[in-house]
Structures are given as structure tokens and as C-alpha cells.
Structure 1
Amino acid sequence: MSEVKISVTTRTEFGKGAARRIRRDSKVPGVLYGHGSDPIHLTLPGHELLLALRTPNVLLSLDIEGKNELAIPKSVVRDPLKGFLEHVDLLLVKRGEKVTVEVPVQSEGELAPGGNLLEHVLNALPVEAEATHIPEAFTVSVEGLEAGASVLAKDITLPKGVTLAVDEETVVLQVLAAQAEEPAAEAEGEAVEGEATEAVEA
């Protein structure tokens, strides 16, 4: 996984007013938690953080006024309309430490012919991995799968050192049968015929 270095500063001002001032400077307020230590309130560079968060579970190497710490995103709050970052919670981690995270699941390949639909029951798979070796995504082949087929958590190949943090029988992907449109068309025809009969009777 990628490691992104970001220089941040601590902050002592809190509340909505302080947060707005930070965002006006193109920065993002955040909090660093973990390892039983007191939360550290931070100010992070907005553009650099936005680029880093494009990678799921990115490992952040934080330079906190000369002190280096490793962290992963725990919670990210975005403006619902404009999408810019409003706040971020970070989890303090150590090299070699195991953490539980959700890794995005991607599919590749074509389903069997028939117009069936692929449903992502889980968009991300909960796993336990070393903080410095978290997979960016799991890619699952759905080539040739037919209606009724499913991919379970245990069917996904995990890298060495990564284990499931969910029941292995959990359904991750499933193929749904295409909905037949003919019954709907027949019902519509029956309705039209019924209206015509009523008109004749009238």
C-alpha cells in the first residue's frame, strides 16, 4: 500500500467558528486517536489530504511539528453538496500492528448471457491486516457466472498476512436473474382490453 507524507500542525481552537476559519484557509480540521493516548487535534493541508484519500485506507505518515506518527483514515466528513472535506478522524497505528479495516471489492469479467444483474451485497470486505500492508482493493472475477451464483467471503483470495474479519459464509456478490418484462406487457394488454369492453358496454 502507498504511504503518503503530510505535514500537519496541532490546534487549540475548537468549535464551528474555528473549523470554518480553518476551511477558509483551504485546510481541514482533524483529530488523531489511538493507543489510549489523548486525542490530538490537528490542522491538515486540504489539497494534499484530498489527494491522499483517493486511496482507500491510505497510510499517512504525519509530520506533527517535527514528530512523526503513522495513521489511517477512520472517518471522513464531506460537504454533501460540494464534496469538499469538512473533517477527518485518524487512527494512530504502529508498524507491524494489526488493524481491522474495510477493503473495497471490485468485480471484473462478464456474466453469462441472459441480461442478469450483479449485486454487490458488500461494497467493502472487513479484514484484519498489518497497518502498513493494507490491500487497496480486492478484485473478483465474475466471468461466466449465471443467475443464482454468489461469491462468498471465503472465495476471495487474500494476500499473505490478511485474514477475514467477517464470517466466511457471508455473501459478497450475487447474480440476480433478469426480470421478465412479458408478464407486465400481458397485464397491460389485459387492462386495455378491459377498458375497451367497458366502453362497449357503456
Structure 2
Amino acid sequence: MAEVKIHAESRTEFGKGAARRIRRDNKVPAVLYGHGSDPVHITLPGHDTMLALKTANALLLIEVEDGESHLALPKQVQRDPIKGFIEHVDLVIVRRGEKVQVDIAVHLEGEAVSDALVVLEAQSILVEAEATHIPDGVTVSIEGLEIGAQIHASDLKLPTGTTLAVEPDTLVVNVTQQPTAEQLEGDTEAAEGAEAAPSEEPVAAAAE
């Protein structure tokens, strides 16, 4: 994964008021931490940060105005729940050659047999990889899989240098029978019947 270089400014103002002023200038408050160092509070350019964080596990080369530079991975990204813009970023400092644990996406390719329902039980999987060689994801072929087939974490073909950080028997893909129209109709009727059924209130004992 290529490094994304981002120029940052040192930040000395804190609190909600300072954060709002930073965001009004189309910038993002952030903090760098890790490896036992004191947290470094910085301000990132809003547009560049948004573009960089569109890639999962983006490897960022943060160049601070005081001349220091840090290699970092996004640990937590806070977004506005309505407008979606980035409100704050926590960045963890990493080193070249260091192993880190990250979630990578699971992608399916191919088609199972007809009448099969393919359920992706794990949309991402936790792996360990070098900070500078984090894979974009892992692709799983379901081509021709029969009903009843399952794919576990141990079946995944990970890139060289990347290892599982979950139990090998973790279920990733489950192939089941596609429900029939009669089954779906029965489930719908059962659900509607449960909603229509009056609730039974306990009868209070008569006072003696």
C-alpha cells in the first residue's frame, strides 16, 4: 500500500470551540499517539484527509510543520452523523517493518450452484501484516460451491507476509438452500399472526 503524504499543523487550542473553528476552516483536528510517546495534537487539511481515508487502512506519512514526520494508520475516525464530514481522527504511529493487526475486507467472486443462498458471515477479517504492506482485502471464490459448503478463515489465501489474527475455524462464507416461495409465504404469515395475536395480560387475583 502506497504512503499518502499529508502536511499537518501543530495544534495548541483544544475544546469544542477550538474544534469548531478548525472545521470552519475546512480542517480536521487529529491526534497522533503510540510507541510510548506523548500524544501529538495536530490539524489536518480537510480535503486531503477525506480523500486519503476513503482507502481502508490508509498508510499516512504525516509531515508536521515543525519538521517532524510520522508514519501512521487511522485508528478511529469520527464523522458527523448527518452530513458525513470528518470531525476528528485518531492516528496510531507505526514503524517500517512493524507488524500490526488490522481488519481487511472480504470480497466474493464467482457464483455458487443454482438455488444456493450465499451468506457472507464475515465482511472483514482480522489479520497481522507489516504496516507498510497491508493488503487491500482478500478475495474468496465461491464458483460452483454446493449447498452446505462452508469457507473458514483457515481456507483464505492471504498474501505472503500476512497471517490470520482470528481463530482458524471462524466462519467466513456459508452456502445454504435458497428458501422456496412457500417457505417465505409461511414465514410472512407467521410473523403477521404473531403481530395480530392479542397479548395475554395476567388476571389479578380478586381481593378477599
TM-score tier by shorter-chain length is 0.7 to 0.9
Shift of the 145–7 alpha-carbon distance from structure 1 to 2, 3 Å rule, reads same
RMSD: 1.8
State the identity %: 56
Tell me the amino acid that sits aligned with residue 44 of structure 1. Answer: L
Please name the residue that 2:178 is paired with.
178
Residues 15-54 of structure 1 mapped to structure 2, 5 A cutoff: 15-54=15-54
- Match of 2:168, SS? coil
Tell me the amino acid that sits aligned with residue 96 of structure 1. Answer: G
Please name the residue that 1:151 is paired with.
151
Segments of structure 1 that go 5 or more residues without pairing to the other structure are: 190-202
Structure 1 residue ranges (4+ consecutive) displaced by more than 4 angstroms after TM superposition: 183-189
Deviations 1:136-165 (A, max 9, x none): 111111111233222111111111111110
- Match of 1:50, SS? helix
Q: Which whole-Å CA distance do the structure 1 matches of 2:91 and 2:179 have between them? A: 44
Residues 74-113 of structure 1 mapped to structure 2, 5 A cutoff: 74-113=75-114
Shift of 1:187: 9.2
Q: Which whole-Å CA distance do the structure 1 matches of 2:24 and 2:185 have between them? A: 56
Tell me the amino acid that sits aligned with residue 70 of structure 1. Answer: L
- Match of 2:20, SS? helix
Shift of 1:185: 4.7
Q: Which whole-Å CA distance do the structure 2 matches of 1:101 and 1:182 have between them? A: 43
Shift of 1:120: 2.0
Shift of 1:188: 9.1
Q: Which whole-Å CA distance do the structure 2 matches of 1:26 and 1:127 have between them? A: 34
Instruction: Give the alignment's TM-score, normalised by structure 2.
Output: 0.85
Please name the residue that 2:9 is paired with.
9
Q: Which whole-Å CA distance do the structure 2 matches of 1:3 and 1:126 have between them? A: 21
Instruction: Give the alignment's TM-score, normalised by structure 1.
Output: 0.87
Q: Which whole-Å CA distance do the structure 1 matches of 2:187 and 2:54 have between them? A: 48
Shift of the 11–146 alpha-carbon distance from structure 1 to 2, 3 Å rule, reads same
Q: Which whole-Å CA distance do the structure 2 matches of 1:46 and 1:180 have between them? A: 50
Please name the residue that 2:138 is paired with.
138
